[in-house]
């Protein structure tokens, strides 16, 4: 029984279409669909909306249909949308949805508002059952309600504000994209098949490989990452730090003079502990109040030999390199990948360290060094 039916039964009330006051909002678009990405509950928040938008965007463009993102000012705006975050009150939001062609997003107030206006709906469910909490009004043939919890073997949702892993993320972007285009009656070719999402795929980064002279003023973002662990070049490091606040990865000690002179521009330093390491460098970091992290990929029995040296300075985060088995991929035929990383070097821009070293492009390669980076990858199959 739906929640609204339960309330009506318990109170002896009759369910009828509510009156919703709409207030004009200037949106000079002839055709558009609405989209909300977030709710107050993390377990309801899908992680791959940008991939969905990337898939449907070319088809919508051909039909001159825009995507309007609605929600609060605290939500993250996505690429390829018209951003109305925090710009409407509830009555203006109702006006926007009333004039839209479709709404998609997680289970939220906007879904119920859309059902009142009998709009096509594509909605994702993770911690609640759409048979109970789904849209009540409107033509049910125009509602596609995708359930994540069933894909992990659960017959019932968790009803938890926090899930790990999140069941909602088992819904593939291409399934959501196909559902949207189906309800809009837009023909489309087959989409790439999602195979693997790395845990850090949504953590975008711009990383500089200091292999040649560059103008720091041309670095397009604040707080770039400088990969001194890839190429150790203190001349370029100093040049960047003289202008840009940065994050540094290094597996070798950096001169004390550079640390001291530019400490205000070192937002964070990650020191990678290898078999050749220097505790005195960490002492310099601590004495200059640098925000530092100790990281190592050494085997536990080898790392144990060094832990006592660093115990007064910080815990060493011991990570293991990922392998092909972690991705549970057996066949790499027709597999390609996107990355959350942009690596900038004198040779151009690359999407992984493996790509930078081998100029391999975005095709999946069956090499142990490639699999080490899969936390940052979205792997998909082209048919």
pLDDT above 90 for 362: yes
Which domains can be identified in the chain, with CATH numbers? 3-191 (3.40.50.2000), 222-318 (3.40.50)
- Position 6 scores a pLDDT of 63
Neighbour count for residue 58 (Cβ, 10 Å):
10
- Tell me whether residue 309 is exposed, middle or buried, using C-beta atoms within 10 angstroms of its C-beta: 0 to 12, 13 to 18, 19 or more: middle
User: What is the Cα 141 distance to its own chain's centre?
Assistant: 31
**Rounded to an integer, what distance in angstroms lies between the CA atom of residue 335 and that of residue 13?**
56
* pLDDT tens digits, one per residue of 77-130: 999 999 999 999 999 999 999 999 999 999 999 999 999 999 999 999 988 877
Residue with tokens 């959501």: 176
Residue 148 carries which DSSP code? S
For residue 3, name the pLDDT band (cuts at 50, 70, 90): low
Q: What percent of the chain lies above the pLDDT cut of 70?
A: 95
**Rounded to an integer, what distance in angstroms lies between the CA atom of residue 124 and that of residue 111?**
10
- What is the chain's mean pLDDT, rounded? 92
Q: What percent of the chain lies above the pLDDT cut of 90?
A: 80
Instruction: Pick the closest to residue 36 from 87, 80, 79, 76 (CA basis).
Output: 76
- Position 18 scores a pLDDT of 79
**Rounded to an integer, what distance in angstroms lies between the CA atom of residue 338 and that of residue 350?**
11
The residue-averaged pLDDT of 217-233 equals: 91
pLDDT above 60 for 1: no
* pLDDT tens digits, one per residue of 146-190: 988 777 666 677 778 888 888 999 999 999 999 999 999 999 989
For residue 4, name the pLDDT band (cuts at 50, 70, 90): low
Neighbour count for residue 145 (Cβ, 10 Å):
19
- Position 131 scores a pLDDT of 79
Instruction: Pick the closest to residue 211 from 66, 52, 348 (CA basis).
Output: 348
Coil, strand, or helix at residue 54? helix
Instruction: Pick the closest to residue 128 from 104, 152, 153, 148 (CA basis).
Output: 148
- Position 226 scores a pLDDT of 97
């Amino acid at each position: 029984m739906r929640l609204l039916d339960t309330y009506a039964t318990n109170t002896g009330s009759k369910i009828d279409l509510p009156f919703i006051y709409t207030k004009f909002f200037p949106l000079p678009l002839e055709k558009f669909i609405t989209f909300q990405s977030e709710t107050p509950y993390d377990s309801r928040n899908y992680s791959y909306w940008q991939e969905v938008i990337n898939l449907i965007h070319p088809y919508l463009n051909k039909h001159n249909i825009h995507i309007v993102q609605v929600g609060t000012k605290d939500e993250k705006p996505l690429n390829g949308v018209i951003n109305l975050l925090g710009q409407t009150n509830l009555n203006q939001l109702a006006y926007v949805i009333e004039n839209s062609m479709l709404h998609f997003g997680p289970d939220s107030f906007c879904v119920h508002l859309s059902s009142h206006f009998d709009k096509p709906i594509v909605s994702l469910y993770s911690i609640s059952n759409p048979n109970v909490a789904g849209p009540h009004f409107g033509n049910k043939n125009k509602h596609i309600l995708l359930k994540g919890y069933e894909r992990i073997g659960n017959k019932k949702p968790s009803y938890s504000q926090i899930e790990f892993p999140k069941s909602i993320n088992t819904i593939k972007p291409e399934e959501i994209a196909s559902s949207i285009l189906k309800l809009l009656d837009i023909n489309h070719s087959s989409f790439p098949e999602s195979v693997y999402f790395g845990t850090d795929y949504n953590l975008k980064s711009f990383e500089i490989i200091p292999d040649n002279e560059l103008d720091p003023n041309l670095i397009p973002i604040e707080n770039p990452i400088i990969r001194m662990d890839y190429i150790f070049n203190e001349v370029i490091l100093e040049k960047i730090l003289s202008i840009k606040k940065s994050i540094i990865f290094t597996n070798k000690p950096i001169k004390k003079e550079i640390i001291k002179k530019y400490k205000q521009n070192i937002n964070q330093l990650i020191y990678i502990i290898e078999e050749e390491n220097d505790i005195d460098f960490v002492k310099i970091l601590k004495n200059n109040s640098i925000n530092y992290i100790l990281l190592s990929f050494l085997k536990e029995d080898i790392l144990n030999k060094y832990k006592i040296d660093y115990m007064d300075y910080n815990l060493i985060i011991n990570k293991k390199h990922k392998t092909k088995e972690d991705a549970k991929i057996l066949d790499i035929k027709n597999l390609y990948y996107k990355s959350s990383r942009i690596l900038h070097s004198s040779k151009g821009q690359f999407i992984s360290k493996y790509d930078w070293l081998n100029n391999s492009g975005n095709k999946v390669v069956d090499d142990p060094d490639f699999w080490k980076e899969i936390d940052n990858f979205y792997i998909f199959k082209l048919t």
